[in-house]
Structure 1
Amino acid sequence: MQSAITSLSFHPTYPLLLSSGPSSTLYLHHINPNPPTPNPLLTSFHIKHTPLTTTAFHPSPSDSRIFLSARRRYFHVWDLTTGSIEKVTRVYGHQHEQRTMEDFSLSPNGKYMALRGSAKKGGGVINILDARTLQWVTQVRIESGGGVADFVWWGDGSGLSIAGKNGEVTEWSVQDGVLGRWIDEGAIGTTVIAVGGKSGRDEWLGGDRWLAIGSSSGIVNLYDRRAWLEDSTSIPSSEDTNNGLPKTPKPVRALDHLTTPTSHLAFSPDGQIMVMASRWKHNALRLVHLPSATVFKNWPTSKTPLGRISAVAWGRPSQAEERDGCLALLSVGNEMGRVRLWEVRA
């Protein structure tokens, strides 16, 4: 690999890792750090004239498909079981809003595929496809000036948290539509959003406890949605116009450890650690412990070979790794085309 890594993805069950970049080639590795050949390459897949931007395993263990997209008017679906490759060239009835398919996300429950649209008139658009049939299902439009900065599926796949470039966040349910909107405190140039952890009430906002928002200043605001849930119970239903969502919530902590724009945010599978990174500066990555919201000081160190970070992903450890004290796997890709993998231990 000689070009930047643009996307990393772990298989939901098997020890497999996807990596891809603008070289138009996707690499599939078996996660096995033991010699003689650590993490061997299983296969690769090249698509001519398609510099890959987003790649992902389907989140269902029983579904063997890999989704691949680029800054093009189409995306591909590669079925590992059959070897077939399907090219999807249009979102019927919404082609004018989908001039590029480069930014997508599969819902954790495996039902939906969300595609950020190119239309920005009056805000921004995200089209929702059926992840099985790849047909258009519905659409969400936000009113944020400048369009959609980033979006993330709730943990149960029932809805999205959508961050507009002006700092307004829209909470949207597939079944019920827009539930409410709120403003990220001090938002200037929102860049990325992530959710993680468990709130203890699965039916409310997907059951996610933590929500983090990064900005062009490098500041990352961390919110505790469990506290929102507790506060909402004291509001009479007749006075609640935002479905229990505070319109101007206070972050648990504003993390200022990055000094260049935040490009990556991701929570570990158990919600105990958040990684935040910026691709605009060498070795600009920090791990945040939850629920204390404190940054780890012992890693990374000045000697950790991170480079300019271009992709991050968390993976679940195998049963053997869990018994050995491994909490999660962290993969980091950089602009030199290198992918490094770490075990996070208790």
Structure 2
Amino acid sequence: MPSKSKTKLKPASGTLQTPKLSGNKKSKSKSKSLVPAVVKEAVPELPKDEEEEELEKLLFGDLEGFREGLKAAEEEVEESEDEEMRDADEAEEGDEEGLKAIEKDYAAMNDDQLFFIDDTAPTNAVVPYQEEPEKMEVDKVDESAEGKAAWVDSDDERLAISLADHGRSRKLRDNELDDVVTGREYAARLRRQFERIFPTPEWALPEKPSKRPRRGDVSESESSDDESYDFAVSAPSLTALLSSNTTLTAHKSRLRLRPEVIDIHRLPDGNIDQPSVSAIRSISFHPTHPLLLTAGFDSTLRLYHIDGKTNPAATTLHLKNTPLDTAAFLPPNGTKIVAAGRRRYFHIWNLQNSRVERVSNIYGHRDVQKSMESLTPSLDGKYLSLIGARGTVQILDANTSQWICTATIEGTVSSLAWMPPSSFSDTSSPLPQLLIANKVGEVYEFSISLKRVLRVWRDEGCVNLTTIATSTRHIAVGSASGIVNIYDRKVSFTGPGRAEDPKPVRTVESLVTSVSSLRFSPDGQVLAMASLMKKDALRLVHLPSCALYKNWPTDKTPLGKVTALEWGMGAGGLWLVVGNEAGKLRMFEVRG
């Protein structure tokens, strides 16, 4: 059996080694001599023909071709400039010849052939775009104030943009025939559309020049005297005013008002110089001087010099953490101010020495006197009344703040009113006298000097009594149903004790929501009534006819939601001040 042989591969550099075949030594030598050696040699590069060289020049170019192209471009530019200059010279020569021909034609024409008047307006003509003169003036002002633009694209004037082709651009047209505009005009219209959607805020607008405050509802005869000028605010100091003899609000009114139509004019707001930041809850006129006091939930007492023109602010007093419901001057000289809110204390502000006193102790009555927002001074300034819990009313001495007596009634006390001296003899009702009304409509007449109730009567038809007011002759009672009953003290009440319930001389039903304010004018000729629940809910009633004024207020009278009312005596007539929920003091003057 022949033996098996193995093949081996041995690589060598530069030679190709074939595998050895199995066999004897003789066969091996023959196979080795027959295989030639393979050697790697470099391949020679063939020369380029003309076609290949031309293609290479076309693709990559050469230095000679670049120079020739540069020379050709320079020659073309020179030729084009020469042609333009020749064309310009020819055009100038043609224009001169044309102008000479036109001048000859015009010289041969008559004057009526040169001009004509076109009195017919085109109906469907396309009006070319022109910049509005007002807009150009605004642009000039802006450039002078802020400087010129840093960069302007000259191509905007050459662009022609169609506004009718795209739906988003159609809103930029001024009319249906408006179509093509320049790029500059397109940018201006985009800016105008943006300002329409997002107007400039008020804080970014320039300040308006000061003008004379307007007086609303002024007749034509007075409009000629209204010239625009600035008022010079020169208000006297508070100390000088209190020590002076100025008594604009102390004189008696001699007006005789008609029952049908009231002559009323609007004055500048009473707090136009220093407005309130919250709803005005209380308004009070000084007994003798032209001063007005306001108070509200901003815990601040504000005094104003009232002149009917500028009404400059006099001074303010901030009572920390004390939202105020009532504030009033203490008669008869008005040198003290009492202020109270829904707290267990009240404040007395002395205007002469600027001292503020806090009164918080009513000994023996702390359990029923938990709040003092209903503080009401008497007409002579000697007493202070406070509504308490469980049908009680505390009477204090205004000078010493000491407790005097307590009036107790049935039910819950809803309103108080001090009775002024009547114009007729009424010996059965000694003064001072306080009217105390409960929610069910019962009214108690309490005598301070006798310290007892003199008379009790019930308001006719009242379900929920809200407020009560008095004058020298009349008593007005308001309810939550919006009804106001007016009683005549001269004919409705006779004798002491519980008499037969009086009949009102007039029932006013012009308010449809709860009555919140009732105020008689100082001369007793007008009753103002208002409701906080509805905007512009204010009405005036003439007395003693009890006729409702229908010519005022109108739909354009800016009253708002009335939160406080007060009457005063001005130099020209009666002043009516209306405080609203927005913190404004609307002032009106009633003239005879």
Same-fold call, TM cutoff 0.5: yes
Structure 2 counterpart of 1:219, from 464, 468, 483: 483
- The Cα offsets for residues 16-51 of structure 1, whole Å up to 9 and x where unpaired, read as 0011110111110000123xxx10111111011100
What's 2:445 paired with? 171
Distance 1:26 1:85 in 2: 12
Instruction: Give 1:228 shift.
Output: 2.8
Q: Which has the larger radius of gyration?
A: 2
Distance 1:33 1:185 in 2: 40
What's 1:161 paired with? 435
Contact residue 26 and residue 46 of structure 1 kept, 8 A? yes
1:11-22 alignment runs, 5 A limit: 11-22=286-297
What's 1:335 paired with? 581
What's 2:337 paired with? 66
What's 2:416 paired with? 151
Give the match's secondary structure for 2:453.
strand
Matching of residue 186 in structure 1 with residue 458 in structure 2: no
1:1-346 alignment runs, 5 A limit: 1-34=276-309, 38-61=310-333, 63-117=334-388, 119-120=389-390, 124-143=391-410, 145=411, 147-156=412-421, 158-176=432-450, 177-197=452-472, 209-229=473-493, 232=494, 242-243=496-497, 246-317=499-570, 321=571, 324=572, 326=573, 328-346=574-592
Aligned residue type for 2:562: I
Question: Post-superposition, which runs of at least 4 consecutive aligned residues in structure 1 deviate over 6 A?
Answer: none
Distance 1:308 1:315 in 2: 21
Give the match's secondary structure for 1:265.
strand
Distance 2:591 2:326 in 1: 29
Give the match's secondary structure for 1:227.
helix
Contact residue 56 and residue 66 of structure 1 kept, 8 A? yes
Instruction: Give 1:227 shift.
Output: 0.2
Aligned residue type for 1:276: M
Aligned residue type for 1:55: A
Distance 2:590 2:420 in 1: 22
Question: What is the alpha-carbon root mean square deviation over aligned residues?
Answer: 1.2
Distance 1:149 1:85 in 2: 29
Instruction: Give 1:95 shift.
Output: 1.3
Instruction: Give 1:265 shift.
Output: 0.4
Unaligned runs of 5+ in 1: 198-208, 233-239
Report sequence identity in percent: 49
Distance 1:316 1:152 in 2: 21
Unaligned runs of 5+ in 2: 1-275, 422-430
Give the match's secondary structure for 1:226.
helix
Instruction: Give 1:60 shift.
Output: 1.1
- Seen in structure 2, the aligned counterparts of structure 1 residues 336 and 253 have a Cα distance that, compared at 3 Å, is same
Normalized per residue, the structure richer in strand is 1
Distance 1:83 1:77 in 2: 10
Normalized per residue, the structure richer in helix is 2
Contact residue 222 and residue 254 of structure 1 kept, 8 A? yes
Q: How many residues align?
A: 307
Name the TM-score, length of structure 1 as normaliser.
Answer: 0.87
Contact residue 385 and residue 395 of structure 2 kept, 8 A? yes
Aligned residue type for 2:405: T
Instruction: Give 1:246 shift.
Output: 3.5
Contact residue 228 and residue 246 of structure 1 kept, 8 A? no
Higher relative contact order (CA 8 A, sep 6+): 1
Distance 2:359 2:320 in 1: 16
Instruction: Give 1:299 shift.
Output: 1.1
